[in-house]
Amino acid sequence: MALAYQHVPNTMETILDTRAVTPDQVLDLRRTVWTDGTLCRREAELLFEIDETLETVCGEWRDLFAEAMVAHLIGQARPRGHVSDADAAWFRERVERDGRIRGETELETLVQVIEKAVTVPESLTTLAIDAVCAAVLEGDRAALGNAALVAGELGDPEVALLRRVIYAGSGGRSAGISHGEAERLFDLNDATVGADNAESWSVLFVNAIANYLLTHTGYAPPSRERMKQIDRWLNSPTDGLAGFGRRLARGVTRFGDNIQALNVFGTETPLQAVYRERDAEARATRGRAGRVDAGEATWLVARIDRDGALTRNEAALLHFLRESGLPLDTSLDPLLARL
């Protein structure tokens, strides 16, 4: 493997001694540790060892680390693009080994994994949101890469990072906000009341919570286990594409006698099952879209009344819902009357 190259130990020794990495050293690591665009687990551990040692980094290192981990967790995944629970647990354990996500490099890498995966365990999304919130409240400038960060205050860079996480295409929700994400945004809003937050925070809070309340797309990409089933079916010598060709040929010869013969698969295939399940879910959720039902209203009332005060952002959210003209459950009327 790449670790057998003779000058890798020399590069590593220099990096570990100086606790810094230069662009030339990053290029050396690209040529030796990540030679073919793939990364084994041992090599991924090596990159983590370097990152945890560094006190001074360069942009080239951040790029290499993120690209390599995305390739390891997503590009090399089987099925491709679906991060497994085991890989997610390994990545989370590595970044939290010292108690929390360490520095801007690891956080940016985590966000990129969430953005670029087809599906990713919710544990990684939760980790990213919690990391941003903790850094904001504690004023951890290194974690967010913002030298102007003020503890307990949400600036535009922090809001932009949160937006990237909660609107990432992975996680199976087609840009829908999950219940856990909505809860965390409310917690962050409560924790930063009275701070000189950027106006973009108000916009994100209102839009994201409204998204959670009003959006029911009914769409979810096939799960990792379903994609593994489809992959096995497609590559089976008796099913999949090979079987399709043989059955299609037999079906065409019988077409004049029975048009149903062109159902060459005979039984429901994994691909057909995906579309059937997706259609059923869409029909089940379509009626809930574009309205706030009793369950959602009960949750919203409890969240707003938790601290006994109606904050500026909460009032903006209620105003948005009222002016939308969409059906709202009557249990929201007492809150709306306070506007």
pLDDT in tens, the chain (339 residues): 344 444 456 787 889 889 999 999 999 888 887 777 788 898 899 899 899 899 988 999 999 999 999 999 999 988 888 999 999 999 999 998 877 787 889 999 999 999 999 889 999 999 999 999 999 999 999 889 899 999 999 999 999 999 999 988 644 444 578 899 999 999 999 999 999 999 999 999 999 999 999 875 444 555 556 555 545 655 665 554 455 455 545 544 444 444 444 444 445 555 455 445 555 554 554 445 568 999 999 999 999 999 888 999 999 999 999 988 889 999 999 999 998
Ordered by start, the domain boundaries in the chain are: 224-282, 294-336
In one letter, which amino acid is 202? S
66 Cβ contact partners less than 8 Å away, ≥ 6 residues apart: 105, 108, 109, 112
Q: CB of 59 within 8 A of CB of 105?
A: no
pLDDT at 132: 95
Tell me the residue length of the chain.
Answer: 339
Between the two ends of the chain, the Cα-to-Cα distance in Å is: 65
Tally the C-alpha atoms within 13 A of residue 166's C-alpha that lie toward its C-beta: 27
250 Cβ contact partners less than 8 Å away, ≥ 6 residues apart: 261, 264
CA nearest 226: which of 81, 51, 339? 81
With b for 16 or more beta-carbon neighbours within 10 A and e for fewer, the 242-253 pattern comes to ebeeebeeebee
